[in-house]
Chains A and B, each alone.
Chain A
Amino acid sequence: MATIKIDGKQFEVDPTDNLLKVALSKGFDLPYFCWHPELHSVGACRQCAVKQYKNEDDTQGQIVMACMTPAADGGCFSIADKEASDFRAQVIEWLMINHPHDCPVCEEGGECHLQDMTLMTGHTRRRYRGPKRTHRNQDLGPFINHEMNRCIACYRCVRYYRDYADGDDLRVLGSHSNVYFGREADGAFNSEFSGNLVEVCPTGVFTDKTLGAHYNRKWDMQNAPGICTHCSLGCNTSPGSRQGVLKRIQNRFHGEINHYFLCDRGRFGAGFVNREDRPRQPLVRADNGVLEPEDMDVMLASLKSVLAEAKGLVGIGSPRASLEDNFALRHLVGADNFHNGMSAPESHASLAALALLQEHAGRLPTLRDVESCDAVFVLGEDVTQFAPRLALSLRQAVRNEHHVLAEAANIPKWHARAVRDEGQHFYSPLFMAVPAATRLDDVATELFHLRPARIAELGFAVAAILDEAAPMPANIDEETRAHAETIANALKTAKKPLVVAGTSLGSEAVLTAAGNVMRALESVHDDAGLFVTLNEANSLGMAMMSDRDVDHAFEAINSRRADTLIVMQNDLYERAQHGKVDAAIKAAKNLIVLDHSMTATIAKADYVLPAGSFAEADGTLVNNEGRAQRFFQVFIPEAPLQEGWRWCADLNRAIGKPVDWYGMDDLIDAIEAECPQFTGIKTAAPSTSFRKAGMRFPRSPHRYSGRTALYANVDVRERRPEVDVDSALAYSMEGYHGSDQPPALMAYAWAPGWDSNQAAITRFQDEVGGHLKGGDPGTRLLKVDANVPDYAPAEPKLVEGWQAIPRYHIFGSESQSAKAPAIQERMPRAWFTLNEAGAKALGLAAADTLRLTIDGEIHALPITIDPSLPDRTIGVPVGAHGLMGVRLPAAVSP
């Protein structure tokens, strides 16, 4: 600890930090542009100038840049000094010289770091009267809007995009004062993390195009603390809405998961909530076979008789729905008739993942921890497409070597440019055993393109080399052994090795192998970590709730044990082969579907109840590390659309089964009582009755406008403010907003003088870029088990002959985001992929159509050549852009 003085006040600070970070952490308002908590210092913009004094007697002092000044012991600084503040005002005046007179028509207005900084420095009048420099814009695709005139050349965008996210198609073009930040030609950004430019850019050069299409200002948003539902990582988001329309998704800082950044699927994938074709009324299949809207009471009455006459109920839950919705369905149909809604291979893999996580519950790093791991072994996961945000963290993990070299050269960790120059091309080891090329290959030390079973074999071999007690797979070839030795050595010598595995390949053997590697690492290492990715937002929660998959449900229907199928927020055609689903639906007397989006299952349903999406419901999701996190309702939809669990409660009451859940609190209590594995979800967020100074917590910023005019055209009398019976949040701007509000209930980030999302959050962190005050939200459900698990037998079950393996894509493989218009524009074409030898063997050229029989069903798609695929494997695109309901990996005979 060091002691420094800022403006005469004494502070205890960390001497390895820079002065800017320290000053912001201590609550000073010090303007800055080019610095960012994750991008660190380059000292380019000269905005954070302060006075530094030699000692306490020095009255002269000198101007230094706070971001480039170590907070060394005995330092004496002044922010308020006249010369320093004049300097800052001059700097912003230069920066503003060419800035256009655009604020009223700029999407950034109201949450603009540049606006904040001009006000903070007091530069409120433009003196410059000469001509302004102008630029032409580029079309950057469906996600991001470009307005280059507004640029102040702080270089934050390229530093984020190129240095942090390793993108290569955003560049600084031109020279001297003409620099241009853009691509070489029009077109969407290649990087899967380009959406963060919207928040990283301190002004309105890069803005959210999906927001622009139905724009309103930040101060007019009604937000809620959200959890992203588009993969298993559980990134925290802040969805914003107005008048019942979901406007945008913004990042919500979580110090252990996503911190400042989201992936593009999470940021732009919520458009499905606003779709016109969503079911918004109860629908019933009329005699002519068309789904007709029905009155809520009539619907409940007819469902009452349907359920009373049913010979047996089968409930199918969903890994994309909350625990609450699934539990309510489980209660309606009975625990024995409830199914987890996953396909059989997905369910088996998720259960294997759950077992693995439980065995190593004490060694599960958070997504943030992944960034500090200095040797990574990825088994089977194409993380960029499957759990995208993890790819960004792994990109930081390989840069740990830079920090090691920088430390050896006495370079402070925040000195971004110097650390990069010192690190050059030396990266921490990242080994990836994956079926084919991935978007993370550019930072991988070594790549092994293998079939799922071979990946498992390599994993078992690594474990056996790390620990002699681990079984070595039989008949292992020399090449695999050599690879395994390289990997084992790198993991062994690392300070903090990490094993990444997951369910994407649907292969339990890969997970078992990852378990062996982890177990072997634990025997030689204290700091080893295991990171497991799953298919969907609540896959782990569903694996914890039920081990029965949809096949069990179909079996119950087909064997006439039950005749009524109730489906909660699930599209059965994603979970099993077409024919199998058709047969089950035909065998069932009634199909009742509760969902928020139009699906192929709804098209076959007899009764449809409109359930709320994540924006219209509260709920709890269990992410890939077993963290239960609560998301909150963003806006109240028009009745009768309501939460899935409320429909189930209504149905329960209709059939005379008493339920005493009238709000989320009751329901969560019931879940904890009936399912002890979920003990702790109650603490994921404060209860409905929680208050601070007697107040609720606002969903909207205090300057929310138009309250007495918004609905005045309908009725001039103002509506009564809605009361939230499910949470401690308020549907208005009224309530307690401050740095000591519980982080789980923070709907938006704003602080006096700091309007932009990434800067305002500073006031809610224990230190800038650290953790949220009051602790990062969520409760880890997996309890550490003292028992050391045994090694699993090394039997990877190698498959010869043709094999179809799943290929995922960030835009398309997740069913909800695949309905968002912006994502649909970026969805790739569907191709079967195979290598040159494979195409030759089948007598096919690129773009020829391949007819492939998987599980008895024929699929025809054009082929494309991917030289990275192993011999005799065919990559099958999984998801809305490709095939749904196929069970992979599968042996095929093309």
Chain B
Amino acid sequence: MLSVLRTIWMTLMHTFRKRDTVLYPEEKPYLPPRYRGRIVLTRDPDGAERCVACNLCSVACPVDCISVVKAEDESGRWYPETFRINFSRCIYCGYCEEACPTYAIQLTPDFEMGEFDRQNMVYEKSDLTISGVGKRPGYNFYRVAGMAVGGKDKGEAENEAAPIDVKTLLP
């Protein structure tokens, strides 16, 4: 008997509580920066695209919704000719972001991606690329990698010695 009264009392008290429901979309909830929403392709601090088309995101993707085709510019720099994400298949697991060795692919707190036509959920590289560095300022893969690409010669990367002169016998 007592427990029944207690339950009724508790239910009554809920009427005066602060409401959890927000008036979306007028009022937007706070989502932390590491929230796993819409995927973007970021640029390095020099403004060039970060993606090197290594295909690690596409192989990490459990639903196989990322397709990348590698191309190479005249300076030897790898870049994606095609970068396509089929968001109608994406499960926003973030494995692609974890796999990315260049911090190019990042998940953002944007989740408002509803479409009437499923075909519109297919995002190409131009739809994915943003103009900033996203969550990872400062990192530029090609400054660390050993390949000579566009303007950076052998031995000019971070922590690299000048190229060896094979003709010297000096120690």
A residues sitting closer than 8 Å to B (CB atoms) are 100-105, 109-110, 129-137, 147, 149-150, 173-176, 178, 180, 212, 215-217, 219-220, 703-710, 712-713, 715-717
Flag if B146 contacts A712 (CB, 8 Å).
no
Cβ contact within 8 Å between A712 and B56: no
State in angstroms the CA–CA spacing of A470 and B146 once bound together: 67
Expressed in whole angstroms, the minimum distance between the Cβ of A132 and any Cβ of chain B is 5
Whether the pair B64, A706 counts as a contact (CB closer than 8 A) is: yes
| Other-chain residue from A149, A710, A716 in contact with B146 (beta carbon distance below 8 A) | A149
Q: Does B7 contact A (CB under 8 A)?
A: no
Within 8 A of A (CB), among B86-142: 86, 88-89, 101-102, 118-119, 121-122, 124, 141
Min Cβ gap A545→B in Å is 43
- Contact for A706 among B54, B66, B121, CB less than 8 A: B66
Q: List 12 A-B contacts (CB under 8 A).
A: A100-B157, A109-B54, A131-B161, A132-B160, A134-B154, A136-B163, A147-B146, A704-B64, A705-B67, A706-B61, A709-B65, A712-B65
User: 20 new A-B pairs (CB below 8 Å) besides A100-B146, A134-B163, A135-B164?
Assistant: A104-B102, A104-B141, A109-B54, A129-B159, A132-B161, A134-B146, A134-B154, A134-B155, A147-B146, A149-B146, A174-B168, A176-B171, A178-B164, A178-B166, A180-B166, A704-B64, A708-B63, A708-B65, A709-B85, A710-B67
Chain A residue nearest to B54 in the complex (CB): A104
The closest CB in chain B to the CB of A701 belongs to B59
Q: Return chain B residues, CB-CB under 8 Å to A717.
A: 118
Query: Shortest CB–CB separation between residue B96 and chain A, in angstroms?
Result: 11
Do B159 and A219 have beta carbons less than 8 Å apart? Answer: no
The answer, among B52, B55, B148, for a CB contact under 8 Å with A217, is: B55
Chain A positions within 8 Å of B67 at CB level? 705-706, 709-710, 712
Cβ of B59 and Cβ of A104 under 8 Å apart?
no
State A219–B88 Cα separation when bound (angstroms): 24
Q: Is the CB of A101 within 8 A of B145?
A: yes
Is B34 an interface position by the 8 A CB rule?
Answer: no
Closest beta carbon of chain B to A704's beta carbon, Å: 8
CB nearest neighbor in B for A715: B119
- Asked if A175 meets B169 with Cβ closer than 8 Å, knowing A100-B147, A134-B163, the reply is yes
Measured CA separation A175–B70 after assembly (Å): 37
Which residues on A sit within 8 Å (CB–CB) of B162? Answer: 134
- Name the contact of A220 in the complex, choosing from B55, B121, B122, B166 (C-beta under 8 A): B55
Question: In the bound complex, do residue B59 and residue A219 qualify as a contact, i.e. CB atoms below 8 Å apart?
Answer: yes
Contacts of A712 in B (CB 8 A): 65, 67, 84, 86, 122
* A176 vs B169: C-alpha distance when bound (angstroms): 9
Chain B nearest CB from A502 CB (Å) reads 42
Interface residue B72 (Cβ < 8 Å from any Cβ of A): yes
The reply on B42 being an interface residue by CB < 8 A is no
With A705-B59, A708-B65 as known contacts, state yes or no: A134 contacts B160, CB within 8 Å: yes
Bound-state CA distance A135–B166 (Å) is: 9
Complex Cα spacing A131 to B157, Å: 10
CA gap between A709 and B145 in the complex, in Å: 29
CB distance from A108 to the nearest CB of B (A): 12
- B78 contacts which chain A residues (CB < 8 A)? 104-105
Which residue, of A103, A104, A220, A707, has the highest number of chain B Cβ atoms within 10 A? A104
B31 at the interface (CB under 8 A from A): no
A212–B70 CA distance with the chains assembled, in angstroms: 9
Asked whether, in the complex, the Cβ of A706 is within 8 Å of the Cβ of B68, the reply is yes
> Hey, which chain A residues are within 8 Å of B68, CB to CB?
706
Q: Is the CB of B171 within 8 A of A215?
A: no
Chain B residues with CB below 8 A from A130, complex form = 159
Please tell me if the beta carbons of A705 and B55 are within 8 angstroms of each other in the complex: yes
Closest CB-CB distance, A719 to chain B, in whole Å? 13
- Could you tell me the distance between the alpha carbons of A219 and B56 in the complex, rounded to whole angstroms? 11
Q: Which residue of A lies closest to B84 (CB)?
A: A709
Name the one of B88, B101, B155 contacting A104, with C-beta atoms under 8 angstroms.
Answer: B101
With most chain B CB atoms within 10 A of its CB, the pick from A105, A147, A216 is: A105
Q: Collect the chain B residues with CB atoms within 8 Å of residue A110's CB.
A: 55
Are B154 and A105 in contact, with the CB atoms below 8 A? Answer: no
Partner of B166, one of A174, A212, A710: A174
**Chain A: CB-nearest residue to B169:** A175
Within the assembled complex, what's the spacing in Å between the Cα atoms of A704 and B70?
Answer: 16
Do B66 and A705 touch across chains, with their CB atoms under 8 A apart?
A: yes
Query: In the complex, what distance in Å separates the CA atom of A175 from the CA atom of B166?
Result: 8
- Shortest CB distance A155–B (Å): 16
Within the complex, the shortest CB–CB distance from B151 to chain A, in Å, comes to: 16
Residues of chain B contacted by A129 (CB below 8 angstroms):
159
Does A101 contact B86, Cβ atoms closer than 8 Å?
no
Q: Are B145 and A100 in touch, CB under 8 angstroms?
A: yes
Q: Is B48 an interface residue (CB 8 A)?
A: no
B72 A135 Cβ-Cβ under 8 A: no
In the complex, which residues of chain B have a beta carbon less than 8 angstroms from the beta carbon of A147?
146-147
Nearest to B171 among chain A residues (CB) is A176
Question: B155 to chain A: which residues have CB within 8 Å?
Answer: 134
Cβ-defined contact, A131 with B159, below 8 A: yes
List B contacts of A101 (CB < 8 A): 141, 144-146
Q: Is the CB of B164 within 8 A of A713?
A: no
C-beta contact mask, B74-90 vs A, less than 8 Å → 1, else 0?
A: 00001000001110110
Query: In the complex, A21 Cα to B60 Cα: how many Å?
Result: 34
Chain A residues closer than 8 Å to B58, beta-carbon distance? 220, 705-706, 709
B124's nearest neighbour on chain A, judged by CB, is A713
> Are B146's CB and A150's CB within 8 A?
yes
Chain A residue nearest to B102 (CB atoms) is A104
Closest 7 CB pairs of A and B: A100-B146, A104-B54, A706-B67, A709-B67, A174-B166, A705-B58, A149-B146
CA distance A173 to B67 in the complex (A): 42
Pairwise interchain contact B101-A173, C-beta atoms closer than 8 A: no
Give, as a whole number of angstroms, the nearest-CB distance from B110 to chain A.
20
Contact yes or no, B154 A716, CB < 8 A: no
Contacts of B121 in A (CB 8 A): 716
Residues from chain A with a CB closer than 8 A to the CB of B167 are: 174
Among residues of B, the one whose C-beta sits closest to the C-beta of A179 is: B166
Check if A709 sits within 8 Å of B154, measured CB to CB.
Answer: no
Known contacts A104-B52, A136-B154, A180-B166; A709 and B66 CB within 8 A of each other: yes
Nearest neighbor of B66 in chain A, beta-carbon distance: A709
Assess whether A102 is in contact with B146, with CB atoms less than 8 Å apart: yes
Contacts of A135 in B (CB 8 A): 154, 163-164, 166
Q: How far is the CB of A123 from chain B (nearest CB, A)?
A: 17
Closest B residue by C-beta to A132: B160
Per a CB cutoff under 8 Å, which of A137, A176, A708 touches B86? A708
Q: Which of B56, B101, B102, B118 contacts A716 (CB 8 A)?
A: B118
Is there an interface contact between B70 and A132, defined as CB atoms closer than 8 Å?
no
Question: Which of B84, B118, B147 sits near A102, CB closer than 8 Å?
Answer: B147
| A713 and B146 within 8 A (CB) | no
Q: A131-B161, A706-B67, A709-B64 are in contact. Are A105 and B55 (CB under 8 A)?
A: no
B57 to chain A, nearest CB (A): 9
Of chain B, the residue at the smallest CB distance from A172 is B166
B119 touches A716 (CB 8 A): yes
Closest chain B CB from A186 CB (angstroms): 14
Tell me how far the C-beta of B54 lies from the nearest C-beta in chain A, rounded to whole angstroms: 3
CA distance A705 to B54 in the complex (A): 12
Tell whether, in the assembled complex, residue A180 and residue B164 are in contact, meaning their CB atoms are under 8 Å apart.
yes
Q: CA–CA, A147 to B167, complex, Å?
A: 19
